[in-house]
Amino acid sequence: VAWQMAPIMRPDDANVAGNVHGGTILKMIEEAGAIISTRHCNSQNGERCVAALARVERTDFLSPMCIGEVAHVSAEITYTSKHSVEVQVNVMSENILTGAKKLTNKATLWYVPLSLKNVDKVLEVPPVVYSRQEQEEEGRKRYEAQKLERMETKWRNGDIVQPVLNPEPNTVSYSQSSLIHLVGPSDCTLHGFVHGGVTMKLMDEVAGIVAARHCKTNIVTASVDAINFHDKIRKGCVITISGRMTFTSNKSMEIEVLVDADPVVDSSQKRYRAASAFFTYVSLSQEGRSLPVPQLVPETEDEKKRFEEGKGRYLQMKAKRQGHTEPQP
């Protein structure tokens, strides 16, 4: 089961340096995933549904995409459990003047089918046919691993970002940022809840502001750790997307982004945590070369703890990358 689209990148998709926003690419990835998984979940006779994004696994931005290039987005269903669909999405950029193509992104997304009659009802997924038995076993392992990780992230739900007056440069408080957005019809599915891609684009926007405030240079998204969607965001909600820096290495910045939804039109429901993720950014010179990043100065005990946790994630990913690049005996 596969699906493709190929939009051309326009000026409003990019930053001032002409690099396409990470959030724009994430939104395209999610649209492709939503289409293919919704189509699959409605492939058999039964109750009609729409696929809702539950989680995006870590995705690396392998090379920048520029204005005028064509983004070739291809999606494929690689595993189905009883109530979820795993979709693998690849993004290639094409320079239409030279014909040169390069891989810019690889992402894995998880969707759940929600009934069109009852948004809170999760339906069963039609099974996918595997060409090899190993594919199903490998997919089941990935499914169990992401399920466990999703449960582990829920403890963060009470944590909020508080503003600080007159913060010092290079501190967490100095660069932390928030964006408030009223969810309108154009942000939503037929169900009346927000597209996962819209949420991810806003999260990337806030993370980009935090990174730019910290280093005051051109910045680009390098990677996004797993994005977990804890709860649906309905039309009419006011969402607050908050970002704060958690860790800096010599040439990268980790930013935690939290999404809180406030159902202002429904007094019976309280504000809740809707999504959370860690974004990694790098600083670039005008020529596109990597620049050193000003070192973050954690002040409070919580900030120091988050810094050490971020350092652990950074070292873990660094070791993983080095393991992949080492020649095989």
Same-domain pairing of 70 and 194 = no
- Name the residue among 55, 7, 56, 58 with its Cα closest to residue 231: 55
Catalytic residue flag (residue 15): yes
Same-domain pairing of 140 and 179 = no
Same-domain pairing of 121 and 200 = no
Interior angle at CA 153, CA 236 and CA 29, nearest 5? 60
Upper half-sphere CA count for residue 325 (Cβ side, 13 Å): 6
Contact indicator for 71, 65 with CB cutoff of 8 Å:
yes
| Domain closes at, from 120, 150, 180 | 150
Task: Look at the block and give the residue holding tokens 């977990």.
Answer: 228
- Name the residue among 211, 277, 239, 216 with its Cα closest to residue 21: 211
Q: Which amino acid is at 323?
A: G
Catalytic residue flag (residue 266): no
Query: 65 vs 3, 107, 317, CA distance in Å?
Result: 21, 16, 23
Same-domain pairing of 81 and 213 = no
Which one is catalytic: 187, 204, 225, 260?
A: 204
Question: What pLDDT shows up at residue 123?
Answer: 94
Query: 243 vs 66, 106, 134, CA distance in Å?
Result: 25, 24, 40
Distance, CA of 38 to CA of 50 (rounded, Å): 5
Number of domains forming the structure of the chain: 2
| Domain closes at, from 89, 115, 150 | 150
Question: What pLDDT shows up at residue 327?
Answer: 45
Question: What pLDDT shows up at residue 266?
Answer: 75
Same-domain pairing of 240 and 188 = yes
- 103 inside domain: yes
Question: What pLDDT shows up at residue 326?
Answer: 47
Same-domain pairing of 309 and 200 = yes
Same-domain pairing of 246 and 302 = yes
Task: Tell me the residue ranges of DSSP E strands in 69-174.
Answer: 70-80, 85-94, 101-115
Same-domain pairing of 15 and 113 = yes
Return all residues near 114 (Cβ < 8 A) that are at least 6 apart.
49, 50, 51, 52, 120, 121, 122, 123, 191
Distance, CA of 285 to CA of 16 (rounded, Å): 13
Question: What pLDDT shows up at residue 1?
Answer: 64
Distance, CA of 121 to CA of 49 (rounded, Å): 10
| Tens-level pLDDT at each residue, the chain (329 residues) | 678 889 999 999 998 888 999 999 999 999 999 999 999 999 988 899 999 999 999 899 998 899 999 999 999 999 999 999 999 999 999 999 999 999 999 999 999 999 988 888 999 999 998 888 899 999 999 999 888 887 766 555 556 677 677 788 999 999 999 999 999 999 998 778 899 999 999 999 999 999 999 999 999 999 998 898 988 899 999 999 999 999 999 999 999 999 999 988 777 788 899 999 999 999 988 888 899 999 999 999 999 999 999 999 999 888 887 775 544 43
Q: Report the 10 Å Cβ neighbour count for 326.
A: 8
Distance, CA of 187 to CA of 57 (rounded, Å): 22
- 165 inside domain: no
Same-domain pairing of 137 and 187 = no
- 164 inside domain: no
Same-domain pairing of 115 and 190 = no
Same-domain pairing of 203 and 246 = yes
Domain harbouring 190, CATH code? 3.10.129.10
Count of positions (residues) in the chain: 329
Same-domain pairing of 184 and 145 = no
- 163 inside domain: no
Q: Which domain holds residue 123?
A: 2-150
Question: What pLDDT shows up at residue 158?
Answer: 55
242 sits in which H/E element = strand 238-248
Distance, CA of 95 to CA of 101 (rounded, Å): 7
Question: What pLDDT shows up at residue 308?
Answer: 95
Q: What is the pTM of this model?
A: 0.87
| Domain closes at, from 118, 150, 182 | 150
Contact indicator for 133, 127 with CB cutoff of 8 Å:
no
Interior angle at CA 288, CA 4 and CA 284, nearest 5? 100
146 sits in which H/E element = helix 133-153
- 179 inside domain: yes
